[in-house]
Structure 1
Amino acid sequence: MLVAGVAPGVAAARVEVSEGPAVIKMRVGIDEGELDKMRAQARAGQKVGPQQQGRAPRTPGDDQRERQPAQKPAAAEKQARATAAAAERVTKRNPGAVTAAPPPPVLNEPNHRLLDECFKSPESAPGMGRIHNRFTHCQRIGVEAEYWTIRNGVPVEKEGTTTATLELFTQTDDKQRRARQWARIQRDSVDYDWGWWDNIWLAPNVPLTIIGQCRESFSVCAASGGGVTFPWAYWDNQTTWQSWDVYNKPGSGVGRDVISYNHEYVELFTDFPPFVTIKRGESPQRALRCDSATYFRHGTTTYPHACVFAEVTPRAGFTTDPASNYYLVSLHILQAQDAPNQTYPRLVPDGVPPPRDKRIPGKYIAGDENAPGLHRISPQLHPTEDKENDAHKNGACYGTGIYADLYRDIGLPVPPDTSIPEECDEYPMGSTLEGAAHPDWDFSVKAVPRSHNRAAGGKVRVYYVDDRILQWDYDLEDPFNSNDRFYVHVQ
């Protein structure tokens, strides 16, 4: 399999990505003298645990880990592709993304339809949760909190373990460079293993704090909202979602569309006196790609900024179901992807041995990050490439234009019949860099009913917006790895 931008015959290395953690582990300490006091208070029927509960303002202490600098788009995009492919390889099913659709508005509560769809679907990979589409992620993951007595700041004896299930739901925005995280402990999922007396009187009153975070430096992203602290017993008996916003800063972006990557996750800890966190728990980090492209719109509605989950393989879905109004185009794409030598234009006239097999990119292959994809272009931003694609298509399909002689005897033997009416369908689409004019790839043309061709074209245009496919930017460093890549998947 070839990589776009790499000369045919040059192999590309596969990047393996390990699975995410199956359990979030944290460790909390308490001075042995303070623990004795708490047990005595519990026996006396006094309140044990935090005197203040709920959300506290965010403080510098809420962000104690070492932040990381921004990752260059090429490296971030390659890593995201490798993660998406690895997720597909470690599952026997083909999870992928659901059909692209405009994301619903980000509200104070999770979108219930998306919430149900996401949690009822299979995980993308163990420990990764479900990347439902480019705008939605969800995960249920175990939490294991160990509690130790400490002497002079050193853990000396394990007192008990509290386990639970953390529920996460994140929705990105198509109006801002933002992701909204929601988190809660799944109701009735908390168990205590401290000893029968502590299980009843002490462990349920120990506080737990959850807070939303971003991994990169403050010049790249920032999370809003402070930590939310409640006793384990409260977390276990409520269904309210707690939320945080992770903002990506335009100043960290590069290129025409101001592209930047960051990672979002939540932290769990207990720093409410007299407890001190020895090791914070962290949910698996998910990669976001944010941009400020100005060309996304449906009608008069524009989408000037957005973030999407980068670790999913974007693909335009086509069906061969005869009930669809474009299925003949789907059959053409399927033939071009699976039997390219049977398509027009031929490499050589009939009766002449072809020098090689035709090579047509864009087929989705689950688990293969090196499959050659497609890159979006437009007449507005890429007028030369767009005109050249059209000219080569006309030469191969109609035998007209500046390339008529180039495709003589190898183009369509019978041009589309405009009286039916028919039109020329091309694959890869003329709206891609890998279209008919690309010097390193082949293409296919076929006569199809006008209604099918135009329905398929409309479907692609909607897909570009709904899946936030960025247009090719020559000025990006390492453009073949920095630019958005997508596939066409025929079912």
Structure 2
Amino acid sequence: MKVGISQQELADLRAQGREAREQGHKSLPVPAPTTQPDRTAPAKPAKKAAEPLTVLEADRASKQAAADNARQAAQGLRTAADPIPTPEHHRGWVPIGEMPHEDRLNACLDGDAADKGIGRVYNRFTYCARWNLQVEYWEIDSKGVPVEKEGTTSAVWRVFGQGDAKDRRVRIFSQIEKDSVDYDWGPIDNIFVAPGVPLSLMGQCSQDFDVCGAGPGSYTMPWATWDNNPIWANWDIYNREQNSEGRDKISYNQWYVEAFTDNEEYTTLNRAETPPRLMRCDSATYFNKGKAKYPKACIFSEVTPHLTYTRGTTHHAVAEHLYIAFNQPRSTYPLLAPPGQPWPRDKKIPGKYDPVNQDAPGLHRITKKLHPDETKANKDHKDGACFKTGPQRDLYRDTGLPNGTNPGEQCDEYPFASTLEGAGNASWDFSVKSVPAKDNRVAGGMLREYYVDDRMLAWDKGLDRPAETNDRFYMKID
């Protein structure tokens, strides 16, 4: 970023520096931090808005970014004593305040990915990034032409985001990392001029106002204040419901934060901008936990959504079932041919988590209310494969579980009954297994919570290219 300083302002700053030195100060006094945005800051210069994004375009871009980011993160080697924090530790929505949620902030920034690529989409409700910011300051003449470089100010610029589950917005926070500012203006100007130069930060929406909006205005403080200021600037990026698609009113837009030095005495030649990031918003009415309802939300979409089941825990039997289904599908029931007969093909069971493959076949959520036919088909085929009962019993007479379920156990099916890829979907194969009832209840509860915590939208056949644009998720087995 390059900034022009008028000759008069530069002279005034140096005069203030001389006066401070004569009074015995080691530097100019640091102004007190402010928590309020500078609403008198100049409006942003005209910039062409980015084109609106269709759900198809944004979904493809989100999947590509998630895969690229996963590949980049996998290249960073860590020791066994320094594990990569997982989003399972902080899943779901938390209320948004005037400051970042501290646990989420620390967890998100505690990883190399925050300093690389697009930053870190820790989970669908949490984003963070850390950038190295360099600003060149030039003296400009009366015509605004840069004539001489005065110095460079460098700092670490942090951005943090929280998605909302009650409104169509995300809140973006930003600050200059404490004690990260470094001045290269010369011995005297480093102390008495550069720290007093103002810096503004402002959150922006990339698309036109009819798609999204950002507010409030810029936060402006001298560099020295930013360097010692624990307060985070924040902006809400709102998404307009009227420009949306499908049953759940889905819409995507991009956002970014920019840095500049602009007022009557300064002219920013090139504003610094964080890379634009995607957010997805919806107005789905079927999300709730108990009496709490979450009718609208915005999430960070550039991540591969997944739920983790862990062997050796309270849901071990279900985790082991899925592990076998993914890695030894020929050993699972129902068989694809009766015993002793050759199989026509191998089983293909979807939903295995593979973060670097944006085309991996995933799972799509369904609900009893929105998808009664698919839900009934899943139950009928599960009953046939597990118990040889129901309208599909003859189909599984020789291929289903030989002895049904054991005492004290239940029939566990995968893909889940609450997915389009469940037992009733002819496009995919499935697996059933007798597991302890307790393990099945725990795993089922985790899945129901996951749907809310990761804002997993239900299948909508009315979307453009529904196989691509509908929300999909994966299962990771530890």
TM-score of the superposition, structure 1-length normalised?
Answer: 0.89
Match of 1:104 in 2: 94
Q: How do residues 107-256 of structure 1 correspond to structure 2 at under 5 angstroms? A: 107-123=97-113, 126-151=116-141, 152-256=143-247
Query: What are structure 1's unaligned runs of at least 5 residues?
Result: 1-25
Offset at 1:259? 0.6
Letter in 1 for 2:435: V
Match of 1:431 among 413, 418, 436: 418
1:362-411 Cα offsets, whole Å, 9 max, x none, are 00013111111000001100000110111111111111121112122111
1:10-53 Cα offsets, whole Å, 9 max, x none, are xxxxxxxxxxxxxxxx1111234553454345435599999x98
CA contact (8 A) 2:381 2:423 kept: yes
TM-score of the superposition, structure 2-length normalised?
Answer: 0.91
2:303 matched to 1:316? no
How far apart are the structure 2 equivalents of 1:125 and 1:164?
A: 14
Aligned length: 462
Match of 1:344 in 2: 333
CA contact (8 A) 1:97 1:313 kept: no
Cα distance, 1:312–1:99 mapped onto 2, change above 3 Å? farther
Offset at 1:451? 2.1
Match of 1:325 in 2: 314
Letter in 1 for 2:130: R
2:384 matched to 1:395? yes
How far apart are the structure 1 equivalents of 2:192 and 2:240?
A: 46
Offset at 1:340? 0.7
How far apart are the structure 2 equivalents of 1:63 and 1:484?
A: 37
Match of 1:257 among 245, 248, 254: 248
Offset at 1:61? 1.7
2:287 matched to 1:296? yes
Cα distance, 1:59–1:381 mapped onto 2, change above 3 Å? farther
User: Comparing 441-450 with 294-303, which one deviates more in the overlay?
Assistant: 441-450
Cα distance, 1:100–1:364 mapped onto 2, change above 3 Å? farther
Cα distance, 1:475–1:319 mapped onto 2, change above 3 Å? same
Cα distance, 1:406–1:124 mapped onto 2, change above 3 Å? farther
2:441 matched to 1:454? yes
Match of 1:66 in 2: 48
1:171-227 Cα offsets, whole Å, 9 max, x none, are 111111111111111111111111112112211111111111111111111111111
Letter in 1 for 2:265: P
The share of aligned pairs that are identical, in percent, is 47
DSSP 3-state at the match of 2:113: coil
CA contact (8 A) 1:97 1:134 kept: no
Match of 1:386 among 371, 375, 379: 375
Offset at 1:285? 2.2
How far apart are the structure 2 equivalents of 1:402 and 1:274?
A: 80
Superposition CA RMSD, Å = 2.3
Offset at 1:257? 0.7
Query: What are structure 2's unaligned runs of at least 5 residues?
Result: 22-27, 77-83
User: Comparing 423-432 with 194-203, which one deviates more in the overlay?
Assistant: 194-203
How far apart are the structure 2 equivalents of 1:96 and 1:113?
A: 13
DSSP 3-state at the match of 1:328: helix
CA contact (8 A) 1:207 1:272 kept: no
Offset at 1:119? 2.0
CA contact (8 A) 2:409 2:437 kept: yes
Q: How do residues 460-471 of structure 1 correspond to structure 2 at under 5 angstroms? A: 460-471=447-458
Letter in 1 for 2:279: L
Match of 1:85 in 2: 67
How far apart are the structure 2 equivalents of 1:335 and 1:48?
A: 66
How far apart are the structure 2 equivalents of 1:435 and 1:318?
A: 18
